[in-house]
Amino acid sequence: MNILNIILISIFLALIIYIILSKYLSESILENVSNIYYMNKKELEEYLINDEDNYYKDFSDKDFKARHVNNLDEYYNNIRKACIDISDDNKNILNKCINKANYKLNKYQCIGFDGSKCSNLEWKIGLVRDKWYEEGYPHTRNNLIIIPISLLNNKNQLISTLIHEKIHVYQKTYPEDIEQYLKENGFTKYKLRKDYNNTRSNPDMDEWIYKNNKDEIMMAEYFDNPTSIMDVKTIPINSSKYEHPFEYMAYDITNHI
C-alpha cells in the first residue's frame, strides 16, 4: 500500500467519524433541552386565530389600516399564509440559541426580575414567514413566542430576541414581580389604553398607558394614515423601548446581560 492510499483511507475514516459524531452531538442537544415546545403550522394557526389573549378584539381602525386589511377575516387569511412548520434543522438552531439565552438569563437578577425563574419557564415557540402576520416582527401571545424564520440566519440577534421575548413571558407570568419592578423604576399607571384610541396595539404590553419617573407619558401613537405598524411616533423618546414600561424592561435587561 503506498503512502497516498494510506492518506486517502485516513481522510475517509476521519470523515466517517466526524459524520457519526456530529449526528450524535446534534441528537444529544435535542435531548438536553427539556422545557421547549415547538408548535407546528396547524397548532400555530389555530392558536393565533383563537385569540385567547384578546389581542385583535381591541384593534382600532388604524390597527387594521396599518396591517393592510379591512377586517379580521382578511387578517386570519394572512395568518394562515404566515404560519410554518419548524424543521429539525431549525429546531437545532433554536435549541442552541435557547441554551445560550438560558445561560445568560440565569446569571441576571434585579428588583422585580429573577433571571433563573425566567429561564425555567417553558419556551413555547412558533415560527412565521415573510411579513403576512404582524409584519414578521417577533412578539409574544400569552406565553407563546413568535419568531420570524429570517432571524434564524443571525444567531446573536436570535439569542437577544429570545431573551427579550422571554422577559415579556415573565411579565405575563409574574405580575407581582412586575409591580415591584414598576415601583422601583418609578413607572406609574396613567390611563387605560382603550380610552385613548390613537395608540398602537402591542401584545407584549398590558392594558395601561404609563408615565415614567419624570412624569412623562409613554406610548406609541399612529401617524394619520399608517401603512405599517411602524408608522408611529413614540413618546417621550422616539424608540420602541419607550412605548411602555414592559418594553423598557425587556430592552434594558437584554442590554445588561
Residue nearest to Zn ion (CB): 204
Pairing of strands 123-128, 83-84: antiparallel
CA distance 205 to 159: 21
Which residue type occupies 48?
L
Decide: is 232 part of the binding site for Zn ion (CB under 5 A).
Answer: no
**C-alpha span between 243 and 247 (Å, rounded):** 6
Helix-, strand-, coil-residue percentages of the chain, each rounded to 5: 55, 15, 30
The interface with Zn ion within residues 237-256 (CB under 5 A) comprises 247, 250
172 or 211: CB nearest Zn ion: 172
Q: Which C-beta is closer to Zn ion: that of 63 or that of 134?
A: 134
- Which of 83/162 has CB closer to Zn ion? 162
204 interacts with Zn ion by CB under 5 A: yes
Interface mask (CB under 5 A) for Zn ion, residues 159-198, using x and -? ----------------------------------------
In eight-state DSSP terms, residue 203 is T
Total site size for Zn ion, rule CB under 5 A? 3
Dist. CA 227–CA 117, nearest whole Å? 39
Q: CB of 241: closest distance to Zn ion in angstroms?
A: 9
Q: Which stretch binds Zn ion (CB under 5 A): 3-11, 86-94, 152-160, 199-207?
A: 199-207
Instruction: Supply the minimum distance, in Å, between the C-beta of residue 123 and Zn ion.
Output: 16
DSSP 148-191: EGGGGG-HHHHHHHHHHHHHHHHHHH-HHHHHHHHHHTT-EEEE
Nearer to Zn ion, 91 or 247 (CB): 247
CB-based burial label for 41 (10 Å; 0-12, 13-18, 19+): middle
> Could you tell me the smallest distance in angstroms from the CB atom of residue 242 to Zn ion?
12
Report the residue number, 91 or 98, with the smaller CB distance to Zn ion. Answer: 98
Does residue 134 interact with Zn ion by CB under 5 A? no
Q: What is the identity of the amino acid at 155?
A: K
Q: Which residues bind Zn ion (CB under 5 A)?
A: 204, 247, 250
